[in-house]
């Protein structure tokens, strides 16, 4: 299972997907396990994160990046700088 990162995400794609209308989630510096029961697409507005899939290589991303997490992914989030992101499941 691969995490897809578009860095930086072009404004045309952000507008075409309506990303700026999606809900916003925020998180302080922390580390925690997470699993995805469904696909998540997000756009980081602020922050820096390293996500390490179970049995995989770490993936780093930050402000301006569009990230897609596949359904079924199990990982550990390491929030290195406080995060704000738009997100959508499904």
- The pTM of this model reads 0.95
54-80 CB burial, b ≥16 within 10 A, e <16 = eeeeebebbbbbbbebeeebebeebbe
- Residue 1: its pLDDT value, please? 76
> What CATH number has the domain spanning 4-89?
2.60.120.10
Task: Count CB-CB contacts under 10 A for residue 87.
Answer: 16
Instruction: Count CB-CB contacts under 10 A for residue 49.
Output: 20
CB 7 within 8 Å of CB 63: no
Task: Name the residue among 59, 55, 56 with its Cα closest to residue 78.
Answer: 59
Q: What's the pLDDT tens digit per position in 32-82?
A: 999 999 999 999 999 999 999 999 999 999 999 999 999 999 999 999 999
């Amino acid at each position: 299972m691969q995490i897809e990162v578009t860095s930086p995400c072009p404004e045309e794609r952000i507008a075409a997907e309506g990303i700026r209308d999606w809900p916003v989630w925020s998180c302080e510096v922390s580390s925690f396990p997470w699993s995805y029961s469904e696909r998540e697409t997000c756009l980081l507005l602020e922050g820096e994160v390293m996500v390490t899939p179970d049995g995989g290589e770490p993936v780093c991303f930050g402000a301006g990046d569009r990230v897609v997490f596949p359904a079924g992914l199990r990982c550990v989030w390491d929030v290195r700088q406080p995060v704000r992101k738009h997100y959508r499941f499904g």
